[in-house]
Amino acid sequence: MIYIIGDVQGCFYTFLKLAANLPTDDEIWLCGDIINRGPESLKMLRWVYRNQDRCKMVLGNHDIHAIAVLSGLRAAGKMDTLYELENAPDRYKLLDFLRNQPLIRTLHKVTMVHAGILPNWDLETAENLAQEIQKGLQGSNWQSFLQNLFGNEPYKWHQDLLPHDKYRFAINVFTRMRYCNSAGELNFQEKKYPPSHILDMNFRPWFELYNQKAMQNLKRRLSNLQTIIFGHWSDTDLINQAYTIGLDTGCVWRRKLTAVLIDTKKPEKREFVQQMYID
């Protein structure tokens, strides 16, 4: 069986304590932002590297930022806690490990991603975009490819976007999205949940739009019923809807780290395991 764990962000001892409460035969999947802002990024990343057989991850915005910092493309910010990692003797091995990680992982009807999937996309579109970006990050020109991924624009999805615009939009969806609308536009200004003011252009939390669409598809007996498990948005606390599960319960803000067993579909029957912050 597989447990998916929310944003660890370098809270390594909280993670170890939660993992100790999960069956040792089970796989652990991490839904991104495994490092940065918390105290023990280097220990966390080394643990995930050593336990690759049992532990799988997807990249979050903080993991991608760390790739850029380790490769000299971006400077570490004031809030970053990457200093130990930047100076570790095994930093290049860990850098290569990180940039070879995917953006989404799918098992049957469950998909794990750090921030989300655009409600307008079907799973195939999302998987193709994620694979193309992954190829770019693994390729020989990965540094210039990565450099082109940073930025907010374009704000609106269109299938005919130029490649770099398309990849920048897609990585923002996979690793940074919070609010979007049914026209496929992103809003990076609002981060609060619920929003701090009334949003124009019908912006809504992406997972509510996605869940609504999946419920409509269920009524119409369509097959597009993928459940999305995500992190990234600690303001929302635990989200447990029919087709979306949000696991960022604010560990890095000294709240909780949450795991969910990939198993039953019904929200009331899902098994969650939580650990209070202890780092």
| Binding region for Mn ion (CB under 5 A) | 33, 60-61, 232
Residue 248 CB, nearest distance to Mn ion (Å)? 8
- 208 burial via Cβ count (<10 Å: 0-12, 13-18, 19+): middle
H helices within the chain, ranges in order? 12-20, 41-50, 61-70, 83-86, 91-99, 123-138, 142-147, 163-175, 206-219
Residue 209 CB, nearest distance to Mn ion (Å)? 19
Residue 256 CB, nearest distance to Mn ion (Å)? 16
Judged by beta carbon, residue 33 or residue 80, the one nearer Mn ion is: 33
Judged by beta carbon, residue 99 or residue 232, the one nearer Mn ion is: 232
Residue 114 CB, nearest distance to Mn ion (Å)? 6
> How many other CB atoms are there within 10 angstroms of residue 121's CB atom?
18
Judged by beta carbon, residue 61 or residue 111, the one nearer Mn ion is: 61
Residue 61 CB, nearest distance to Mn ion (Å)? 4
Judged by beta carbon, residue 46 or residue 232, the one nearer Mn ion is: 232
Judged by beta carbon, residue 144 or residue 248, the one nearer Mn ion is: 248
Q: Report the distance separating Cα 233 and Cα 216, nearest Å.
A: 25
Single-letter code of the amino acid located at 182? S
Which residue has the closest beta carbon to Mn ion? 232
DSSP 277: -
Q: Which helix (H) or strand (E) holds 59?
A: none
Is the backbone peptide bond immediately before 267 cis, with ω within 30 degrees of 0? no
| Whole-number CA gyration radius for the chain | 18
Residue 23 CB, nearest distance to Mn ion (Å)? 28
Judged by beta carbon, residue 112 or residue 158, the one nearer Mn ion is: 112
Cβ contact 41:10 at 8 Å:
yes
Single-letter code of the amino acid located at 174? F
Cβ contact 186:180 at 8 Å:
yes
Q: Looking at the chain, how many residues does it have?
A: 279
Residue 266 CB, nearest distance to Mn ion (Å)? 28
Structure-block tokens of residue 185: 């536009």
Judged by beta carbon, residue 249 or residue 263, the one nearer Mn ion is: 249
